[in-house]
Amino acid sequence: MNYTLHFGAVWASFDHLLGGLAIGLALAVAAVAVGTVLGLLSAFASVSKSRLLRGISGTYVLLIRNIPLLVLVLLVYFALPATGIRLDKYESFIGSLALYAGAYLTEVFRAGLLSVPKGIVEAGRAIGLTRMQTNLSVVMPVMLRNSLPSLGNTFIGMFKDSSIAAAIAIPELTFEARKINVDTFRVVETWTVASGLYIAACFTIAALLRRLERRFPKF
């Protein structure tokens, strides 16, 4: 074992790594934004009275949670064009990750919905709000606040999963790291720096989320 560390080759391409990190974060933000809409719809469906809606939501969660994300990404990217739907690689990856996030967020929001005290729903109905108004202005804010910690964890998970975009040649952090690795053969340095950047980003996001949680008191 006579390997000497030379970080110079990695620092020379550090801009690319940072750019890749930004792309990964952007992918995660877009996917979680779309996934939140999917997750909210699916969570309300999962607690609705209609059997059909509950069935659709349950099947969606079961299917997506038990398929590897990479299979989903490749299926959407390579197989969808055969059905006439053409997406570029960013759209296709954000779509796949959003589908994936939506399934996890369904469970997050479902738990949030079940945590809303019955009393405040009844209070909303009692002051004459319609069911829809109660859902929008009473249930939703409380549910979102109670789901915030899990929502944050899901976001961190999706940010880590954005590394899978390297499989369809999106130049995010893992893709750039692999490129530097192959170009320079500074193997240990490259992966240490790449992993360090991911960890730093995850911890920063987690710290920001904790601050956000403190700003809003829990119900």
Q: Site residues (CB under 8 A) for other proteins?
A: 1, 3, 62-63, 65-72, 74-75, 78-79, 82-83, 160-164, 166-167, 174, 177-178, 181, 185, 187-188, 191, 194-195, 198-199, 202-203
Least distance between other proteins and beta carbon 201 (Å): 8
Q: Which is nearer to other proteins, 145 or 179 (CB)?
A: 179
Answer yes or no: are the C-beta atoms of 17 and 197 closer than 8 Å: yes
Q: Sign of the CA dihedral 176, 177, 179, 180?
A: positive
Least distance between other proteins and beta carbon 155 (Å): 14
| Eight-state DSSP code of residue 171 | -
Q: Which is nearer to other proteins, 67 or 120 (CB)?
A: 67
Least distance between other proteins and beta carbon 1 (Å): 5
Q: Which is nearer to other proteins, 133 or 204 (CB)?
A: 204
Answer yes or no: are the C-beta atoms of 109 and 170 closer than 8 Å: no
Give residue for tokens 């990217």. Answer: 77
The CA distances from residue 145 to 32, 33, 61, 186, in Å, are 16, 16, 22, 45
Least distance between other proteins and beta carbon 116 (Å): 23
Least distance between other proteins and beta carbon 138 (Å): 31
Cα–Cα distance, 1 to 117 (Å, whole number): 61
Q: Which is nearer to other proteins, 111 or 202 (CB)?
A: 202
The 3 state secondary structure assigned to 69-119 is HHHHHHHHHHHHHHHCCCCCHHHHHHHHHHHHHHHHHHHHHHHHHHCCCHH
Q: Which is nearer to other proteins, 137 or 195 (CB)?
A: 195
